[in-house]
């Protein structure tokens, strides 16, 4: 009841409520009244503003987001952000409504996620004008690297010297503290010893010693990030990816993961962002077990969207084993996203295929088999540290195209079909699709980049030469051209179907272990789409009576254009073929 009252209050009261919950047990002295006022001033918001409409879906089936680094495509003599925009303008044919540009600020390591200066654009990529140009044509998604920043940043150098801004900005602990329960995704030492103007300190480093965790117990850190959010909004950013946000708040003696203060910071940022720019969104990047990930929806008052992290490992496992049992069981357990929230679906990213989100869904033996299978196709494995000092596979580093070039039995001739099948499944699911640029292009493992970069994640961070890319896309016999054309064809179909709205009804079908199927129904109940994929390397007969088609309706496969006129028909679904069977009466687009 307290939260409901807060939701109806004027903005100042709501922000006051958030900061009270964040800092009520804070060991540092905080003037909560002045803090709430300062945050509103930084965001240039009216303290008396009424709350915006709740539970509004700011998306539709027409939305699809491309995920890319700013320099994924290079052209001599041209800034990469300019090259990137021209590529999407020329080739996306209006099918991509948004672009997620991975960190474009100056950085010192981790390909952008060790930020030196949040207020600037990396000169090697372009300028704020180039960023705004992309934002003028696409919904721009940007990373708010909120948990940590570079050890070479001005903030950290000032921390060492006891100067501002930076003094008190970084989280410190003692080697004597109980840190045994801390959960983190790396095997490096958690604490880094540094010499400061006040003596030896031990700074907390969740990810690497060049990425030092910020201390949000200090409200000056919160104010800095609210100021950054305002700056990004002013430059056209409309979707904020809260990077590694689950690790934000730390307390010795706990896991320091998903703490209540972290959730409240997300609620605060949502309140500020949705008042500043109606339709601006927060997406939480929390590569953690499934149930913990779901918690970032809150009561429809935290993230607008959450990354569907369990989808990539489960879908890859399904396609290399030819068995969809685990994928079905997981999907049946997923609650439908409430209005005002949505899943952000992806099956490949700049990182690897995360394994933590599959824990509890796949057995240790199945995870081991998946890791070994990916090794056959050139993949590597990154590890995380356990409480007992041991290490455990954290993610598989491989391009998705190579990951799907065979099965547990080894490579085969079905690689392209299997790869397209993976995307057809994702594009049919409840949620907003995000497609990594190297999946759009069918990019292969980049072993040279791994060697040059010195880390495994570089295997899926290839940089295309613009002329070479245009050349392969112009050749019909190129797997890159085939993949790009077929994914765009699926996007073109998807955007015309009301049943593919991110919040439309979804039910799992039970058609055996080798056929993965689900049913989508539009919110006005006029259109149904039966999404059925053969996830094996053998043709499978499918009786239309098995999916309960209404016999009086006419039905059509949106992908092939084949018409069906009765429940008694039996169709052969080819290896890795997907059919999207819809009722013609509810179908809203042209075939």
The residues carrying an active-site annotation are 243
Residue the block writes with tokens 């939305």: 63
Q: How far is CA 543 from CA 415, 428, 506, 513, 549, in A?
A: 27, 21, 21, 15, 10
Written as one string, the DSSP assignment of 508-528 is EEE--TTEEEEEEE-TTS--E
Please tell me the number of Cα atoms within 13 Å of 123 on its side-chain side: 0
DSSP three-state, residue 42 = helix
Written as one string, the DSSP assignment of 540-555 is EEEEGGGGT--TTS-E
Written as one string, the DSSP assignment of 311-339 is HHHHHHHHHHHT--HHHHHHHHHSPPPPT
Please tell me the number of Cα atoms within 13 Å of 122 on its side-chain side: 23
Six-digit token pair at 142?
A: 């940007």
Six-digit token pair at 310?
A: 């369990």
494 and 61 Cβ atoms separated by less than 8 Å: yes
524 labeled binding residue: no
Written as one string, the DSSP assignment of 208-267 is BTTEEEB-TTSHHHHHHHHHHHHHHHHTTEEEEEEETGGGSS--TTS--SS-HHHHHHHH
63 labeled binding residue: no
242 labeled binding residue: yes
Question: DSSP class of residue 427?
Answer: H
Work out the burial of residue 393: count CB atoms within 10 Å of its CB; fewer than 13 is exposed, 13-18 middle, 19 or more buried: middle
Return the number of other C-beta atoms located less than 10 Å from residue 363's C-beta. 12
Rounded distance between C-alpha atoms, residue 222 and residue 339, angstroms = 29
186 labeled binding residue: no
Rounded distance between C-alpha atoms, residue 210 and residue 91, angstroms = 38
364 labeled binding residue: no
14 and 48 Cβ atoms separated by less than 8 Å: no
230 labeled binding residue: no
Q: Are strands 540-543 and 578-583 parallel, antiparallel or unpaired?
A: unpaired
Residue the block writes with tokens 């084993």: 321
Question: DSSP class of residue 17?
Answer: H
Binding residues: 110, 148, 241-243, 350-351, 457
Give the residue numbers of the binding site for substrate.
110, 148, 241-243, 350-351, 457
């Amino acid at each position: 009841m307290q939260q409901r009252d807060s939701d109806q209050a004027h903005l100042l009261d709501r922000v006051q409520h958030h900061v009270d919950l964040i800092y009520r047990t804070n060991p540092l002295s905080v003037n909560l009244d002045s803090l709430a006022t300062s945050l509103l001033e930084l965001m240039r918001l009216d303290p008396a503003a009424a709350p915006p409409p709740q539970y509004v879906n700011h998306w539709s089936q027409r939305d699809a987001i491309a995920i890319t680094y700013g320099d994924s495509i290079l052209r001599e003599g041209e800034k990469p952000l300019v090259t990137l925009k021209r590529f999407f303008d020329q080739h996306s044919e209006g099918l991509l409504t948004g672009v997620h540009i991975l960190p474009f600020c100056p950085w010192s390591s981790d390909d952008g996620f060790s930020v030196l200066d949040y207020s600037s654009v990396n000169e090697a990529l372009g300028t704020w004008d180039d960023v705004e140009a992309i934002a003028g044509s696409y919904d721009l998604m940007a990373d708010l690297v909120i948990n940590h920043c570079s050890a070479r940043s001005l903030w950290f150098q000032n921390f060492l010297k006891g100067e501002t801004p930076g003094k008190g900005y970084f989280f410190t602990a003692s080697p004597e503290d109980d840190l045994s329960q801390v959960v983190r995704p790396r095997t490096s030492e958690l604490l880094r010893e540094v010499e400061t103007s006040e003596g030896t300190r031990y700074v907390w480093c969740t990810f690497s010693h060049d990425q030092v965790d910020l201390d949000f117990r200090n409200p000056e850190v919160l104010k800095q990030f609210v100021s950054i959010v305002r700056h990004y909004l002013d430059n056209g950013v409309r979707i904020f990816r809260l990077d590694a946000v689950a690790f934000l708040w730390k307390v010795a003696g706990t896991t320091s993961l998903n703490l209540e203060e972290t959730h409240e910071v997300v609620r605060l940022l949502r309140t500020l962002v949705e008042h500043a720019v109606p339709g601006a969104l927060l997406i939480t990047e929390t590569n953690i077990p499934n149930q913990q990930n779901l918690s970032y929806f809150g009561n429809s008052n935290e993230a607008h969207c959450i990354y569907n992290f369990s989808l990539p490992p489960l879908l890859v496992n399904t396609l290399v084993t030819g068995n969809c049992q685990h994928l079905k069981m997981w999907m049946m357990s997923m609650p439908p996203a409430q209005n005002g929230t949505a899943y952000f679906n992806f099956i490949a990213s700049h990182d690897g295929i995360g394994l933590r989100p599959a824990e509890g869904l796949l057995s240790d033996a199945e995870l081991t088999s998946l890791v070994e299978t990916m090794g056959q196709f050139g993949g590597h494995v990154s590890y995380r540290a356990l409480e007992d000092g041991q290490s455990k596979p954290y993610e598989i580093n491989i391009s998705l195209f190579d990951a799907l070039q065979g099965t547990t039995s080894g490579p085969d001739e079905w690689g392209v079909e299997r790869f397209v099948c993976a995307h057809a499944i994702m594009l049919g699911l409840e949620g907003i699709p995000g497609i990594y640029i190297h999946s759009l292009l069918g990019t292969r493992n980049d072993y040279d980049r791994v060697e040059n970069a010195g880390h495994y994640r570089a295997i899926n961070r290839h940089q295309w030469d613009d002329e070479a890319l245009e050349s392969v896309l112009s050749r019909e016999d190129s797997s890159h051209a085939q993949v790009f054309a077929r994914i765009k064809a699926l996007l073109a179909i998807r955007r015309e179907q009301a049943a593919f709205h991110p919040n439309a009804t979804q039910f799992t079908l039970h058609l055996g272990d080798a056929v993965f199927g689900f049913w989508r129904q539009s919110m006005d109940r006029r259109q149904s789409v039966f999404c059925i994929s053969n996830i094996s390397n053998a043709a499978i007969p499918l009786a239309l009576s098995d999916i309960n088609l209404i016999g009086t309706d006419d039905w059509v496969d949106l992908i092939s254009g084949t018409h069906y006129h009765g429940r008694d028909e039996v169709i052969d679904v080819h290896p890795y073929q997907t059919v999207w069977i819809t009722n013609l009466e509810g179908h809203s687009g042209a075939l």
